[in-house]
Amino acid sequence: MKTVLITGCSSGFGLEIARHFLEQGWKVVATMRSPRSDLLPPSEHLRLLALDVSDAASIAAAVAQAGPIDALVNNAGIGMLYPLEATSMETVRSLFETNTLGTIALTQAVLPGMRSRGAGVIVNVTSTVTLAPLPLLSVYTASKAAVNAFTESLALELAPLGIRTRLVLPGRSPTTRFGENARPRMQGDTPAAYAPLMASVFGGVRGGGPVTHGQDVAQAVWRAVTDPASPMRIPAGADAEELAASLA
């Protein structure tokens, strides 16, 4: 039985990915900053571990406790929808610390084990905003675009060792806590000149049209992990697939 370690399982995509792999009979190591046993169904194949991807000691402890890992899913991330001018550099650094450096650090931590076994899959969850940029998301987009470049370069580095890397790119999701979690970072002194743009963008976020659901992302990650012939970039969700097709 194979084992997958998934980050950011307290809600949203990570929680759905963990459920999906459990249903498919995998051993699941579900990580989150503050583990909660009520989020996933009890299973002898489930382990809940505390993990802060921005903390080196936390990463080392989680990887040591998890044991051999066949697949790593870097899903943990934080967001922000705000003008750059009103965003502190402390906030900018926090986004990159979690979204970019956390992904790199955890990947680095699991590589010795995968290399010794000559097999493994690393799936990094980013976003379709890296394909079609949107206003007010410059820092978030930059942090995720960096992961895209990292993943594609790393694929060339690891292929001779029997290790695959893939990207899953979700679209807009009304079912995640992106906005709720981002709100504390959206506290800068915003010049009035940005008010019309912010009203337009926030209205669009709440608007209709195709969206991405948690199960869409879970299925895309499953494909990335289990199908060696899957493409490097896998869009997840009706809106993501529509966008990817328009850019093809």
In tens, the pLDDT along 20-72 reads 999 999 999 999 999 999 999 999 999 999 999 999 999 999 999 999 999 99
Q: Domain of 100: which CATH number?
A: 3.40.50.720
Say how far apart CA 225 and CA 35 lie, in whole Å: 24
25 secondary structure, DSSP code: T
SS3 99: helix
Whole-angstrom Cα distance, residue 179 to residue 194?
19
Domain span at 110? 3-247
Place of tokens 């010049």: 191
- Which residues lie across from 79 on neighbouring strands? none
The pLDDT value given to residue 183: 63
> 140 an active-site residue?
yes
Q: Find the catalytic residue in 140, 150, 178, 222.
A: 140
Q: What parts of the chain have a pLDDT lower than 70?
A: 175-188, 204-208
Let me know: does 209 contact 237? Beta carbons within 8 Å.
Answer: no
Nearest to 178 by CA among 201, 205, 198: 205
* pTM for this entry: 0.94
Among positive and negative, which fits the CA dihedral 85, 211, 166, 52?
Answer: positive
Counting the structural domains of the chain, the total is: 1
State residue 189's pLDDT score.
Answer: 78
pLDDT value for 230: 98
The pLDDT score that the predictor gives to residue 153 is 98
Longest dimension (CA), the chain: 57
Could you give the CA distance from residue 106 to residue 58 in angstroms, rounded to a whole number? 10
